Every structure is written in C-alpha cells, then in structure tokens.
Amino acid sequence: MSGEVQVRAETLPVVPSAPAHLPVLPALPPLRREMRGPLRFGLAIIFAFFVVGGGWAAMAPISGAAIAPGSISPESSRQKIQHLEGGIIREIRVKEGDKVQAGDVLVVLAGVGAEAEAGQLTKRLQSLAATEARLDAERTNSKAIDFSHPSLSDRSDPDVQDAIQQQVNQFTARKENDQSQQAILAQRVAQLQQQIVGAEKQLVSVRRQNELIHEEIVVVKDMYEKGYEKKSRLLALQRTEADLLGQEGQLLSQVARSKEQIGETELQVANVKIKRKEDIDQQLSETQARRFETEQQLKEALDRMARSTIMAPVSGTVLDVKFKTTGGVIRPGEEVMTIVPDKDNLVIDAKVSTHDIDDVHAGQHAYVIFPSFSQRNLHRIDARVRFVSADAFEDERTQQHYYTAKIEIDREQLKRLDPNVELTPGMPAEAFITTKDRTLLDYIIQPYMLVIEHSFRER
C-alpha cells in the first residue's frame, strides 16, 4: 500500500506551497491515458459538425416564400338573381342553402296574361303561316302546298290541323274556280273559232256562186244584146250577183269580228292570269308582313312568360333569399336571392404584404394550405399567381396596407389528394408564394447587416 502511494506521489507535479491563510485543496487525480482517444474523437465530431453545418448554411439553398393570407372566392363572383319586370310570386321552389343546377326553376311568378296572349298569337301565327304556304303554292302553280313553317310542325295539334285544312280547302276551291274560268274562256274561243270555220265555208260557197252567176250574166248579156234574151232575166241575175257580193261582205265581216273576239278573249285570259298573280303577290306580301309582326309579338309574349319563371343562371348554392312566402310582390329589378357558383374556377383573394411585393408577380408558383382542413388528410395544394394589383389598399380594420393577388388553385391535385373535400367561397386560406432561394447563413446574417448598415449612417 505504501509503495503504491509513493508511486502516485512521484507522478504528481510540483505544486508551490499555498499561503498559510488559504485552505489546502486536495490534489486532482491525473487523466488516465485511456480517456485521451474518446476526447479527441468527440472534439473531431464537434469540429466536423461546425464545419459541415457552416458549409451547408453558407451554400445549401432554401426556398423563400411570401406568406399571403386570404380567402376562397369564385372567379365570376356571386350571381344576383333579379327580375326585369317584377310580379306577384306564385311559387317559391328553393330555400336558403339549397344546391341548384343551372336552369333549375327558383321562383314562379303569376303570368296568366302573358300565357293567354302567347296562346292567341300562336294560333294567329299558325293561320298566317298556313295562308302564306297556300299563297306560295298558288304563285308557283304547285300541285300541293308545302306546310314547312316551324309553327306547323306539330301535326297532332288540333289548331295546326285546322289551319292546314282550311288552307287546303281554300287552295282546292280557288284552283277549281280558276280552272272553271279558264275553261269558260277557252270554250268561248273554241266557239268563235268554229264560227270562223263555218263563215269561211259559207264564204267559199258564196264566192263560187258569185263566179257562176257572173259567167251566166256575161252569157245572158251577150244574148240580150243580140236580141235573144229578155232584159228582166239579165237584171235578175245581176240582183243575184249583188246579193252574193253582200253575203260575201257579211261573211268577211263575221270572220273578222270572230277573230277580234278571239283576241279579246285571249287577252282576257292573260289579264285574268296577270290579275290573279298580282293579287296573290300582294296577299303574300301582306301575309308575310303580318306573319313577321306576329312572330315578334309572340317572341315578346314568350319572353314575358319565360321571365315569369325565374331560373338559376349557374349551378351553386342559394343564399340571401329575400322572399319567404307566396303572394309577395317583386318590384322591377329587385334582387330576389343570390347564388354562389360551385363549379366555377375558385381563386384565392390573397393579401400580399408591402414588404414582399417586390418578389411577387403574375405567373409565379405558389402553394396553398387551408386551415379549415386537417393537414394530415389534406396537404398543400399547388397554385399559381394570376394577378397582382398595381397599387396598394388599406385594411380598414388594421390600418395596414397590402396588395391584392389572385391565386388560382390546381383543382385536379385537390381532388386527387381528397376527392371528398369541398371548397366553398369565403373559406380561409394561406398562400405561400415562392420567391428567390437564399441560404440559412443569409437568413442569420441579414438582420445584423441591416443593423450595421443603419449604425454607420450619419444623422
């Protein structure tokens, strides 16, 4: 034991004696040789940590981001449902919070007058369209009527059947009347032509008789001059010749008069056709004008009747219903309710800080998180900056200035992450707009550099 103590004492360094007034401390045991290795290794690890960490902090890029809080907003904003003319509410088919599709009936107004007027105008249009088709067939001398107007397409409609049948009957009657008139005039021409033929035959006979009488007169006259014939016979033959000449003149006059009557009859036939065509053209023009006017009136009546049914212009959610019961009166242009579109492109109306505006521009990549959803189920959503305001606005509540930015969400990625998620307008969101990359060392040094820069400025 004494030997061991002696060895240890020999290894201790020489320590000057302490002053008498100080307490004597016990001597420290010497470091064991086996502790030197781990100590050096630990120091090496610490040194390597600072070297590698410092190098990473100085060289490894970290993506910067401008954080912009905002909320979801439909791209086309809310749809105010109004009525141009107003009216009395007959039926309300939706209530607050209902989901509607574009074209769904929201409110039905009392529109009895418009319905009755539309019915009368429809009948008038069908009648005019059928009349126009009949007149067109008469103008072109068609054998049948082409009822091709859209108002006459429903042949099962009794009104359409009546309109068509009336014009078919009138077409047949007018055609038969025209054919009868033409037949009468044609028969008259045929009679006159027969009279001409008969007169011409008589004329041939009279002329032949006249030739024979003339020859007989020549013979009798010669015999009378020689004293072989009486004068009375000569005079009788001359009277017969004169009568035949008179008959020939009458027959010639009759033929000429008959030919003139034929010309007049043919002219009458032509005039009848011309007059008929002129009448048809005039009636057709008037009918077309009335039909066009009726179509315009019917369109206006149908518009009024359609406006008596207020329909959803877009698919979405019904909000802010102004009328709750039937019988209420809607004033012209008064707002009835509001629809928030749900199938429209949703954008984030974000507020960008004035300190970050230099790093934010349209087309920039961003990602969005929604505090309303659990981040375990819904990760960040890719987005893109679509618009940045040119000037700053002031928040009336906080008195802070900001720039507005519209950030478009990638809907497809949202559906892939969670098909059941439903984004609604007004839902809060937080946009992280990617800016330029910086290192960790930049983040650490920059505040100190700013302090130094401000410190060395004269005041």
Q: How far apart are CA 310 and CA 93, in angstroms?
A: 10
* Dihedral sign for Cα atoms in the order 116, 119, 125, 128: negative
- What value does the mean pLDDT take over residues 20-27? 50
**Predicted confidence band at 233 (pLDDT cuts at 50, 70, 90)?**
confident
pLDDT tens digits for range 391-404: 888 888 888 899 98
316 CA to centre of own chain: 20
- What value does the mean pLDDT take over residues 313-338? 88
Q: Which residue did the predictor score with more confidence, 344 or 348? A: 348
Task: Examine the pLDDT at 12 and tell me if it is beyond 50.
Answer: no
Of 121, 148, 143, residue with least CA distance to 133: 148
What are the structural domain ranges in the chain?
64-75+342-455, 79-109+309-337, 114-307
pTM of the model: 0.45
Task: Examine the pLDDT at 22 and tell me if it is beyond 50.
Answer: no
Q: What is the pLDDT of residue 6?
A: 42
Q: Which CATH architecture has domain 64-75+342-455?
A: Beta Barrel (2.40)
Q: How far apart are the first and last CA of the chain?
A: 78
Task: Examine the pLDDT at 236 and tell me if it is beyond 80.
Answer: yes
CATH of domain 79-109+309-337: 2.40.50.100
